[in-house]
């Protein structure tokens, strides 16, 4: 008998009807297929995935409303703070 490579092993997972519906809702919210979302649910669990999707949606809304700062502006502010820091290496918050 030849050992099977890990990539060739198939896993069979059976979800309850309740979990199937939960997966479908989660996938729809995330803009993914249920098959694509299942990988993350199996790895992290429903609660973590649902929280991640909710936080991602909230972040997208904040960005759309202009409530975020660009990477460039944050880096400029950090550089300014570092230039203003005393040479002793101690940085004091303003």
Distance CA 87, CA 35 (A): 55
Distance CA 36, CA 33 (A): 5
Tokens linked to 7 = 């990539």
- Beta carbons within 10 angstroms of residue 68's beta carbon: 13
Distance CA 19, CA 39 (A): 14
**How does pLDDT run across 13-59, given as a tens digit for each residue?**
789 999 999 999 999 999 999 999 999 999 999 999 999 999 999 99
Torsion of CA 54, 55, 58, 60, to 10 degrees: -110
pTM of the model: 0.65
- Which residue, chain included where needed, has tokens 């909710």? 54
């Amino acid at each position: 008998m030849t050992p099977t490579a890990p990539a060739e092993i198939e896993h069979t997972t059976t979800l309850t009807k309740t979990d199937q519906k939960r997966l479908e809702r989660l996938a729809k919210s995330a803009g993914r297929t249920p098959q694509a979302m299942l990988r993350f649910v199996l790895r992290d669990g429903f609660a973590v995935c649902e929280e991640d999707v909710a936080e991602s949606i909230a972040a997208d809304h904040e960005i759309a409303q202009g409530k975020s700062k660009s990477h460039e502006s944050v880096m400029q502010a950090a550089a300014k703070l570092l230039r203003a820091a005393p040479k002793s290496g101690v940085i004091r918050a303003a």
